[in-house]
Homo-oligomer: A and B are copies of this chain.
Amino acid sequence: MDGRISRRQLLHAVGAAGGAAAVHAAATALGLLPPVARAGQLTLRPAGGRPRHVVIIGAGIAGLTAAYELRRAGHRCTVLEASHRAGGRNLTFRRGDVVDEVGARQVCEFDDHPDLYFNAGPARIPGSHTTLLRYCRELGVRLEIFVNDNRNAWVQDDAAFGGRPIRSREYMTDARGFVAELLAKAVHPQDLDARLDAGDQERLREFLRVYGDLDETLAYRGSDRAGYARGGMTSPGVRKTVRGFSELLDADFWHEYMHWGETMDQAAPMMQPVGGMDRIVDAFLGQVGDAVELRAVVREIRLGESGVEVAYADARGDVRSVRADYCLDSMPAQLVLGLRHNLPPRYVRALAAPTLSQNVKVAFQARRRFWEDEQIYGGISWTNQDITQIWYPPHGIHGDKGVVLGAYTFDDDRGLRLARMSPAERIETALAQGEKVHPGYRQHVEWGLSVAWSRMNHMLGCSTVWTGEAQGTHLPTLQAPAGRHYLVGDQVSYHPGWQEGAIHSAYHALQDIERREREARAAA
């Protein structure tokens, strides 16, 4: 001991003087706690004298992340992308872009304007997706706020309100009001949990009163929250007519939509890259684009003792082969099964286990931002029709035109109905259904584009869907390597359908490769 106090002693003294907050601050300042921003970040050990060659199948977010991190550590990558463009499902369409659906090729005819784009895959980033956000920061992808929930948007159900759209705020307010009133009156204090003392019970009743905006008698008689029918500025506000509770329950929005914004990945706020989600792809390509070979369709994966050999048809149709120390493969599991391969039987069984969701999106260029005339700025309207949702852009406010998402269908039955249609039929369907949400819809939109993910070339589906049982059995198998072949992509994460899951799948594989390399060095 040299008379100096240890860091631990110092923190103890700080804590005595200033409490937990002071300890945290002091510990961070002393470098004992990492800054939050580094949490979860992958830092590969520099390759040094032992650079590896990794062949990456698929230039989606998982593949691009892997290539970027491997390059940064000094390794060599070859990225084989079957499509004519990189990004995978991170796919933004602008004027002239091709939608490469099997049997339903379309060309985007939006006007050439930076606000007019269509994110056919991921379109929003939650603040909790820290690794993706960190890449945005690191690679200079500008972000802006995305609107996921809008109380001025519409809910429309053929079974309620005469099929007419009503404002989300009306639906939400009346439904909350009735539920709160019924509960406040039907609750018997003696049946409440023993955890609650009399004060808590009173607070529970008060909670219901505030929840539903009830009056002093615990009755719901409408609420300002629904907006005024008229007045409220220079004359007293007149409340809107209250809907019937049964009718509110007939419309199924209480089951999912009312709680949508509470869910982990959908809670406000969310973000989007300025100019389109594929700005992220562009940013990665700026770093590793020279390693990406487009129109490279893999035919065969052959595991060897000290590497992997991948054969593919290049853009000219010539079959070529690449041999690497490792393979990171983001092909959809089912498509891997169609290759020639020597993958082990257990792995093959696991590849066959998950299915892919049948999501469909339809986008329209609108000649007039008609939703703004309806007091809607961003967000989503909901309908019980197949189109399910209509999204309004959060950017380009008060501009001349905008791209509205005319359908986002994530129920498989609905998605399959739309996917089976020709693009023209999908447009017509989305227009007809959209008319119920926005009377006059058809006259406002001038051009439509659809993407049925189940028909998208080289993908044939959207997010991976696991049954709980199959996931428990097979996902661990697919998360482990088969020889030197690693399946990656959101498909092997517990967060399918999100770019954050894809990034972490790449991290998972890269960390395992690093472990093997370390062990190999130690054994050498």
Q: Which residues of B contact A133 (CB under 8 A)?
A: 372, 398
A114 contacts the other chain (CB 8 A): no
A162 contacts the other chain (CB 8 A): yes
Q: CB-nearest residue of chain B relative to A136?
A: B398
Is there contact, CB below 8 Å, between A152 and B128? Answer: yes
List which A118-148 residues lie within 8 A (CB) of chain B.
127-128, 130, 133, 136-137, 142-147
Is there contact, CB below 8 Å, between B397 and A255? Answer: no
Is there contact, CB below 8 Å, between B21 and A439? Answer: yes
Q: Which residues of B contact A246 (CB under 8 A)?
A: 195-197, 200
Q: Which residues of B contact A188 (CB under 8 A)?
A: 186, 188, 191
List which A382-433 residues lie within 8 A (CB) of chain B.
394-395, 397-398
Least CB distance from A385 to B in Å reads 12
Q: Which residues of B contact A249 (CB under 8 A)?
A: 200, 203-204, 207
Is there contact, CB below 8 Å, between A267 and B151? Answer: yes
Binds B, one of A172-180, A290-298, A306-314: A172-180
A500 contacts the other chain (CB 8 A): yes
Name the one of B142, B196, B504 contacting A182, with C-beta atoms under 8 angstroms: B196
Give the CA-CA distance A508 to B234 in the complex, in Å. 7
Is there contact, CB below 8 Å, between B36 and A374? Answer: yes
Is there contact, CB below 8 Å, between A378 and B269? Answer: yes
Is there contact, CB below 8 Å, between B267 and A169? Answer: yes
Give the CA-CA distance A404 to B369 in the complex, in Å. 32
Q: CB-nearest residue of chain B relative to A225?
A: B262
Give the CA-CA distance A152 to B133 in the complex, in Å. 15
Q: CB-nearest residue of chain B relative to A397?
A: B143
| Binary B-proximity of A348-379 (CB < 8 A = 1, otherwise 0) | 00000000000000000000000011111111
Q: Which residues of B contact A12 (CB under 8 A)?
A: none
Give the CA-CA distance A21 to B156 in the complex, in Å. 12
Binds B, one of A87-95, A327-335, A455-463, A489-497: A489-497
Name the one of B151, B164, B233, B492 contacting A495, with C-beta atoms under 8 angstroms: B233
Give the CA-CA distance A255 to B254 in the complex, in Å. 22
A227 contacts the other chain (CB 8 A): yes
Least CB distance from A72 to B in Å reads 20
Q: Which residues of B contact A186 (CB under 8 A)?
A: 186-188, 191-192
Give the CA-CA distance A193 to B28 in the complex, in Å. 56
Give the CA-CA distance A142 to B151 in the complex, in Å. 22
Give the CA-CA distance A162 to B24 in the complex, in Å. 14
Least CB distance from A235 to B in Å reads 7
A225-B264, A500-B233 in contact; A269/B379 too (CB < 8 A)? Answer: yes
Least CB distance from A224 to B in Å reads 5
A326 contacts the other chain (CB 8 A): no
Q: CB-nearest residue of chain B relative to A508?
A: B234
Q: CB-nearest residue of chain B relative to A511?
A: B234
Is there contact, CB below 8 Å, between A494 and B210? Answer: no
Is there contact, CB below 8 Å, between A397 and B130? Answer: no
Give the CA-CA distance A415 to B493 in the complex, in Å. 49
Q: Name the 7 nearest CB pairs between A and B, nearest first.
A: A21-B439, A233-B504, A151-B267, A25-B440, A24-B439, A145-B145, A234-B508
Q: Can you spell out 8 A-B residue pairs with CB atoms less than 8 angstroms apart?
A: A36-B373, A36-B374, A127-B376, A144-B397, A151-B262, A186-B192, A207-B249, A207-B255
